[in-house]
Amino acid sequence: MINQEELENIKGTVDEFFKMAGYPVEQELNAGEENGQETLNINIRTADAQTLIGKQGLVLSDIQLILRKVIKKKTDREIYLNLDIDNYKRNKEDYLKGLAWNIADEVALTNKEKELPLLSPFDRRVVHMELAGRKDVIAESIGEGEERKIIIKPAK
């Protein structure tokens, strides 16, 4: 478990990381454990959110990867890092869950399958997890690589 002193050191590391990149930030940081893995959730607030998030969150993903490696080097511990900027990920996840339910409801009513637009692997996972408990529809990924997409079908 991450102790308070380590949390303060990590917080300082995060501040220094963004300051050196030229982006002053405020951060909320909390640690816990999920599925037996130490987890660190950091939400950054900044005036430059769009720049740090990038198109479809690609820059955010890259920053998260780099920051995870910096924190690992400083703490010498393998910690799962979930970095969010101005609640971008949380809002996107809420949107995807709503989209999944709306399309699933439509499929259940019309008894016709529907295809979702192309989504990232993380976004597809959100949709699959959200619809996993439904008995009236099936969410299935088809395709390969960047062309992989989800089809929602009526359950037979």
Of 10-14, 89-93, 116-120, where does mean pLDDT reach its minimum? 116-120
* Ramachandran area for residue 15 (φ above 0: left; ψ -120 to 50: alpha; else beta): alpha
Domains present along the chain, CATH in parentheses: 4-86 (3.30.300.20), 90-154 (3.30.1370.50)
Residue-wise pLDDT tens digits, 113-143:
999 988 888 899 999 999 999 999 999 999 9
Predicted local confidence at residue 11, as pLDDT = 93
- Burial track 13-49 (b if 16+ CB lie within 10 A, e otherwise): bbeebbeeeebebebeeebeeeeeebebebbbebebb
Predicted local confidence at residue 10, as pLDDT = 92
- Report how far residue 30's alpha carbon sits from residue 38's, in angstroms, rounded to the nearest whole number: 11
Structure tokens of 109? 């009513």
pTM more than 0.95:
no
